[in-house]
Amino acid sequence: MRSDANIAGPMADPVPGPRPADSDPVPVPPAPGNAVSRETPHPMPRPEETRVVVVANQKGGVGKTTTTVNLAASLALHGNRVLVIDLDPQGNASTALGIDHHAEVPSIYDVLVDNRQLSEVVQPVRDVEGLFCAPATIDLAGAEIELVSLVARESRLDRAIKAYEQPLDYILIDCPPSLGLLTVNALVAGAEVLIPIQCEYYALEGLGQLLRNVELVRGHLNPKLHVSTILLTMYDGRTRLASQVAEEVRSHFGKEVLRTSIPRSVRISEAPSYGQTVLTYDPGSSGALSYMEAAREMALRGVGIHYEPGTAAHLVGQQQQQDQHSMSEGLQ
């Protein structure tokens, strides 16, 4: 967990030397074409302590992985040190971050099932300084069953994270679309739950079950666990359905819902096939700008600073219109 010791290992700091003290100004590495970092008065302040955020929703395809990797990249591009833990046997987060995760690669499976140290499996992400990934391989598909007979089966990830000595500002855990033992391990390890909700029909269906599980884990295993963040994803401003869903989610959850929502964007869906996040793939796109803005909102909330939509929020709107215009032209 976070400490300013600079311990060499697979995840050693790419820039050797001690980490700047917390009181130092947050370094903002220039990101190519990154309008947000240049124009916003507040970048993304680092939290006092490592924030462990579980990105969960047992519904498939709602944007968990996309949200995990793009928020992580946004935070890292603004001077935070971020670890993504891929807890989904599909390994989509590892793919999106360009991390090798074929069967022989040391992975989160080895940590959960074979008591390997997290530091032995973490890899740095190419292109984004300060961003790291603990990959998932196909082995993880068997872990749900193998974990059942192991000691402390629900808290193995928590134990591994607590033993991890690299300094980190955020750990984002990408969960599979189920509420099995892998997701329970994430809920025991984290303090915050981030629920991406796709702005589609049935968006809220099944959420009750997830919220009940959060309550159960909080009651029995992890008293600090709470739903801190809801993010609306794949928002299509042209449809009435999207705004109805957004309204329903906001009236149901209130202050947990980020004011920033993520538009449907072709760039976001293209990026993983290049082993990239949208932040490096197309930094000026509406998808990149909106994830950058959502990360800023999350970071400011974490340190208790009131969030005001920045210039980027307007840019997102403009860029979205342009994207949609070129998309409909492409369809003609």
Give the type of residue at 172.
L
In the complex, minimum distance from the CB of residue 135 to Mg ion, in angstroms, rounded to a whole number: 13
Site string for ligand ATP, 42-61 (x = CB under 6 A): ------------------xx
In the complex, minimum distance from the CB of residue 245 to ligand ATP, in angstroms, rounded to a whole number: 14
- 279: contact with ligand ATP by CB under 6 A: no
In the complex, minimum distance from the CB of residue 48 to ligand ATP, in angstroms, rounded to a whole number: 29
Q: Which one of residues 64, 78, 156, 296 is an interface residue with ligand ATP (CB under 6 A)?
A: 64
- 81: contact with ligand ATP by CB under 6 A: no
Q: Which one of residues 3, 239, 244, 269 is an interface residue with ligand ATP (CB under 6 A)?
A: 269
Report the alpha-carbon distance of residue 144 to residue 183 in Å, rounded: 10
In the complex, minimum distance from the CB of residue 193 to ligand ATP, in angstroms, rounded to a whole number: 14
In the complex, minimum distance from the CB of residue 25 to ligand ATP, in angstroms, rounded to a whole number: 32
Window of 65-73, 95-103, 235-243, 314-322 that interacts with Mg ion by CB under 5 A: 65-73
Residue 269 binding target from ligand ATP, Mg ion, none, CB below 5 to 8 Å by type: ligand ATP
- 262: contact with ligand ATP by CB under 6 A: yes
Q: Dihedral angle at the C-alpha atoms of 28, 30, 36, 38, nearest 10 degrees?
A: 90
Rg (CA), the chain: 19
Helix (H, G, I), strand (E, B) or coil at 229: strand
Closest alpha carbon to 135 in 94, 189, 84? 94
- 167: contact with ligand ATP by CB under 6 A: no
- Structure token pair of residue 296: 């800023």
Handedness of CA 145, 149, 154, 157 (dihedral sign): negative
Report the alpha-carbon distance of residue 278 to residue 258 in Å, rounded: 20
No. of H helices and E strands in the chain?
A: 13, 7
Angle between the N-to-C axes of helices 64-77 and 286-302, in degrees from 0 to 180, rounded to the nearest 10: 70
222: CB partners within 8 A, 6+ apart: 158, 187, 188, 189, 190, 191
Site string for Mg ion, 73-102 (x = CB under 5 A): -------------------x----------
In the complex, minimum distance from the CB of residue 258 to ligand ATP, in angstroms, rounded to a whole number: 14
Residues that bind ligand ATP (CB under 6 A): 60-66, 88, 90, 92, 177, 233-234, 262, 264-265, 268-269, 287
Residues that bind Mg ion (CB under 5 A): 64-65, 92
